[in-house]
Structure 1
């Protein structure tokens, strides 16, 4: 997509008054719209309901504390009556879709006092049920007070049950992005936190427990969504502090199902004219979050009230530019600027919206593909459609780099054979012919003549290749097109009628994990046509790389699919909403600087090089067919003729900040050609090296190897990853396993391990 065609970024902005006690009216909704907001928050019940419930709880507590009451269990918990019109103004009218409904902020679902928790659950369930009845789409639930792990499970259980009350209701948990280790009591004296009896509060407050630090809020969210089994209607919203937490924690929230971000008035700082603005770090965070496939909403909290049917405060043109109304223009010309304007925060965010930086080339290409799981291609067994080839051919980098590699190889070989004849270049797996075109351009640029061959098994692509040879002026009928599986090709036919050898063999058989589309097997099978003395493969080598990832969105997607084998298949995916668990630029136990972009620890699993040693190919041929000289067969079936392409790797990753592993991200690096001068042409999808080696390349998305059961890993933990590439001579598949360890007093303890996953049922056929 061209830069000019990039769709505009739109911020969906809501107004949130944390002290609002009565549900909003239709007139207030209209006022919010006129002010420039897209939505407004509303409590489900009002202050009268809170007074009613509080009186019931107080009466119960008085009864159980009465000296005449010898047995507390003989006094039943209070029953909260149903909502009445006196307790809520919320109705199923036309404005309901513009509301974000808040459950009562004064209840305490996680209270250690069983009476407070019981009453709070009744209030909560009634509000959820009534909001669902009214047609509310989204309900926001304030996060739990941290009373301890036991009480947090009570809160999580309540959320899990609430998801069954409203079958279409989306529930969002509101949490602080970063929480200080010691949380004080709520400032609101009416909060039920203050209603809990001292006996239970003292029992729950364990000072010996270590602080959870910055990750306390994320820990709470992780438990809640785990209890709710990654429910598709459960998401999270975070309140952003003025001083952002470390980038590692920002990235963690980025990977979660983030429905909204809240900016309270305290998040803003005044500029030199007194207007509220966000820090540069907060602006960059907004830009990053708004690049998500489903961008979060923005809630402005306590930044000014919305008046009923207030006059229009701003206009927003389709082009994204802001313009004052005529009345505003007149006022600004005659009056000093008013820095207390209740819409000044909103105006500022609309300005950020209109000035969002342009997306990178890769981001523009990836629109629509983000976190979309695709099965890897099997070009050996499937004949690809033209549109599939076309997507790959849009890459602005790959084919240019291939042309540079071919040019260097032509120059080296031209010197070696002293220009006695044209260089024989064969593109095997030619597809629609883009590499053939690049070979011819490299020949023209270097002045080195070539004899070009295009080998393709796809009968449909073969037709197009012949057409190119007849109509493309660069090809000019100079290319010999051969329809065959490259492994069955005997080689180029010389003018003498003899079968010759190929000087340069060019292929683009790499998959997202380098070898997952059987490039090793294909190039082994065609190596017999390569000149044994000076033949060059492009690419010359490629390596597979791995790193553990947190991908809750992808895990949720797979959880709601059918079929047990969904966990046994690696997926090609444009990773977008994820987090690296192992970082190379953080010290153990450190969150890192807020402005430090995390650099992942991506480790090499294995490597393949071409051409292969003749001795290895000779041994493989000896084993083929099961002769006595070839041994008793392969380790996992077959005769073992392809066992030289089996691989195993075990990698150890340090995990600085606790998290959950949902799978392994796979990447590759490839040396297309290393010239005699030492100059290399390389491709990379490895996030650590891709900008250096092949920035803006879009041909390959990463691959992910999923885990059925997510693995929790503690601070300063370790993850051992075992990875296999298996083969039985008929097919190739991958197996993977992850183990979690923690060191205590110098000893290493295993905390858990995943099941051994295997793609054997979905193996690539040879």
Structure 2
């Protein structure tokens, strides 16, 4: 079918098609979902169907029982002595479901006419019984996925959440999906047939509506707040997710991003979410297409459910089509001008979108499968990395090209300063498998400026490979001096007369996800004695750490459920460690004021920075403290020789929309080299500047500083973050604490604070 729409450029030839599991849902499904119907739906192109757990007969039976009980209460002189009604077990006429192998492709739907959040204890009691009977029977039938409609009223959200928590215990493999609108109410009336129990709540239990309240505009974040209360009550259970209904008109970009960060398992697209194109086909607006693309790029994309877009076409219709003779050319031409008559146009359109998804950015293609996967940071000083780890870094299409540019620029500036005939010594410290050595030699070749190159590496296994490359690589050609040494204890290059010389350019790639978390400052301080004191150049010259508060329920849930043995940590230690992670399903809590409606730029603050070479006065004082000739001045830990590399910061972030803070996302920027002429080569993982400075760089994922207890934020909150880089001269660690404030009547009031988190027990060893 030719569909008229803008679907994007389509996937690159070497990129797999986006994964999209597609289901069909009818709010009023009147025919049983049999194995035959499911097989036919899959033949048509769907992957799954929804199925009501109980029949209208069961609803009638419950309503009749409730009506009888209310009559008994009305006639009784002592209504408090009348026991609560009990619903008898399901009978064959109450449900069409039976245990079947094909049930793995079904999503069971609980009755939409119950009200678990009812203020009337009678209605709530009956609703809980219906809910429990249905969920238990679905679990018995081998159905793993159950969709339940969200709370009718926000006033009873905790009561609703309590019922969901109990239901999760009815089946160990049960996945429960709460159907919620993005904001306001669901697009479609889910109880058009029959009576909703909310209508039967008795007046004495209903809170009168304040006539002065403006109910014309629903609370924008009301639906999200209900979800947050439910999942918090259920302790972020990995078996509790969201079935999110996408409305015809998408809400603000901030609310879209908030929902994107949540564990959405089902994306429900009702018929009203579609528009018609010029040829009469149902299509999604551009904004809806882009939002769908964001979800399809997740590590585990949600299933897409088409709601009330038409019934599954019968097999009889297919048989009639198959029995018809092939049309003549004239008949085919005439039919081509007719209005489309596709029985499943919405489904075919989504399959078309699936095939024409735009290509992923390089960072996403590189990190496929690692989205939101927590990893402990590397400790290259204490651990010898394996070849495969080096190989991952070397796949970066940007970093090494930028390093080569920086070296070339530095060579030109040094040649101009030193004049012709003076040899330029370049040392790559922490050479690994040698990619930076190759780039130094290429920069030398392209600029025509000869260099003497040294490769210093402490890893004995990588040292073997460096020697082999020096002997066999045509570019290296035996001209590289390969040294097996910790850079801090390397005396420097040996000159032709046997003396120890100085290095003109010192090149390293010691930066971690937070710039300094792999001890680049300590390493470069330790090797600075080999750098020429007058004109020596460090590449990088400087780097800075940056962070911003984020909401990431996925990572918090993973840490909550992760056994401490996974990381060889104690239960409490797992919250005290920053993690390297490809942040993917998260939300920025603090964003910059936007000039355009579709722009959303996070507010990212610079925590601290380092520059090299370090001042000789600072290193001299550090040396005196290490030798014991200068009193430590109350320094706790070692002798204070590394105190100059300690840092601290405190920043306030303005958060306009309410939310939950699960931790801090950390990034870095670095100036590899800034020429006196004004030319500058920079790298960045900061989301605000990365596209400008080093777009498509893949070497570093962000770092995540978790909070053991998430902090709630009201609208227009102020979040104050304090962070420290600490050292005791033996190791380096981070400490962080977060406080939340609001302004009321011009005064600032504290609403809460996290505990002090410290990674001291698992710090980076020097």
Superposed, which structure 2 residues align to 1:43-192 within 5 Å?
A: 43-66=52-75, 69-148=76-155, 151-179=156-184, 188-192=193-197
Superposed, which structure 2 residues align to 1:721-736 within 5 Å?
A: 721-736=721-736
Q: Structure 1 555/132 Cα, relative in aligned 2: closer, same or farther at 3 Å?
A: same
Partner of 2:93: helix, strand, or coil?
Answer: coil
Q: Structure 1 652/310 Cα, relative in aligned 2: closer, same or farther at 3 Å?
A: farther
Distance 1:586 1:260 in 2: 31
Superposed, which structure 2 residues align to 1:366-515 within 5 Å?
A: 366-515=367-516
Partner of 1:738: helix, strand, or coil?
Answer: strand
Query: Which of 574, 586, 594 lines up with 1:578 in the alignment?
Result: 586
Distance 2:342 2:725 in 1: 64
The alpha carbon displacement at 1:638 in A equals 0.8
Deviations 1:26-81 (A, max 9, x none): 22212312221111110000000000001111112222233xx3433222221111
Q: Paired residue for 1:717? A: 717
Q: Paired residue for 1:317? A: none
Residues 394, 435 of structure 2: 8 Å contact kept: yes
Q: Structure 1 312/559 Cα, relative in aligned 2: closer, same or farther at 3 Å?
A: farther
Q: Does 1:704 align with 2:704?
A: yes
Distance 1:367 1:181 in 2: 34
The alpha carbon displacement at 1:310 in A equals 5.7
Residues 743, 749 of structure 1: 8 Å contact kept: yes
Partner of 1:11: helix, strand, or coil?
Answer: coil
Query: Which of 247, 255, 259 lines up with 2:265 in the alignment?
Result: 259
Q: Paired residue for 1:760? A: 760
Residues 187, 272 of structure 2: 8 Å contact kept: no
Distance 2:524 2:328 in 1: 71
Q: Paired residue for 1:569? A: 577
Distance 2:601 2:633 in 1: 47
Residues 268, 306 of structure 2: 8 Å contact kept: yes
Instruction: Point out where structure 1 has 5 or more consecutive residues left out of the alignment.
Output: 314-324
Q: Does 1:364 align with 2:378?
A: no
Distance 2:672 2:58 in 1: 71
Q: Structure 1 439/650 Cα, relative in aligned 2: closer, same or farther at 3 Å?
A: same
Distance 1:561 1:393 in 2: 31
Query: Which of 20, 30, 39 lines up with 2:29 in the alignment?
Result: 20
Query: Which of 202, 221, 226 lines up with 1:220 in the alignment?
Result: 226
Deviations 1:173-192 (A, max 9, x none): 01011216999996555111
Q: Paired residue for 2:695? A: 695
How many residues end up aligned between the 2 structures?
742
Residues 114, 197 of structure 2: 8 Å contact kept: yes
Deviations 1:658-713 (A, max 9, x none): 11111100000000000011111000000010000000000000000011111110
Residues 619, 630 of structure 1: 8 Å contact kept: no
Q: Structure 1 117/610 Cα, relative in aligned 2: closer, same or farther at 3 Å?
A: same
Q: Does 1:602 align with 2:600?
A: no
Q: Paired residue for 1:11? A: 20
Q: Paired residue for 2:568? A: none
Partner of 1:4: helix, strand, or coil?
Answer: coil
Residues 181, 216 of structure 1: 8 Å contact kept: no
Q: Paired residue for 1:559? A: 560
Partner of 1:403: helix, strand, or coil?
Answer: helix
Q: Structure 1 551/354 Cα, relative in aligned 2: closer, same or farther at 3 Å?
A: same
Deviations 1:117-145 (A, max 9, x none): 10000000000000000000100001111
Q: Paired residue for 1:676? A: 676
Distance 1:207 1:586 in 2: 34
Q: Paired residue for 2:545? A: 544
Residues 548, 582 of structure 1: 8 Å contact kept: yes
Partner of 1:65: helix, strand, or coil?
Answer: helix
Distance 1:327 1:367 in 2: 46
Q: Paired residue for 1:316? A: none
Instruction: Point out where structure 2 has 5 or more consecutive residues left out of the alignment.
Output: 1-10, 564-570
Superposed, which structure 2 residues align to 1:31-42 within 5 Å?
A: 31-42=40-51
The alpha carbon displacement at 1:362 in A equals 1.3
Partner of 2:221: helix, strand, or coil?
Answer: helix
Distance 2:126 2:185 in 1: 28
Partner of 2:512: helix, strand, or coil?
Answer: coil
TM-score, length-scaled by structure 1: 0.94
Distance 2:745 2:543 in 1: 40
Q: Structure 1 37/279 Cα, relative in aligned 2: closer, same or farther at 3 Å?
A: same
The alpha carbon displacement at 1:206 in A equals 9.0
Q: Structure 1 85/187 Cα, relative in aligned 2: closer, same or farther at 3 Å?
A: closer
Partner of 2:13: helix, strand, or coil?
Answer: helix
Distance 1:631 1:763 in 2: 22
Residues 183, 218 of structure 2: 8 Å contact kept: no
TM-score, length-scaled by structure 2: 0.94
> What CA RMSD, in Å, does the superposition of the two structures yield over aligned residues?
2.2
Q: Paired residue for 2:7? A: none
The alpha carbon displacement at 1:542 in A equals 0.3
Q: Structure 1 177/332 Cα, relative in aligned 2: closer, same or farther at 3 Å?
A: farther
Q: Paired residue for 1:641? A: 641
Distance 1:471 1:761 in 2: 44
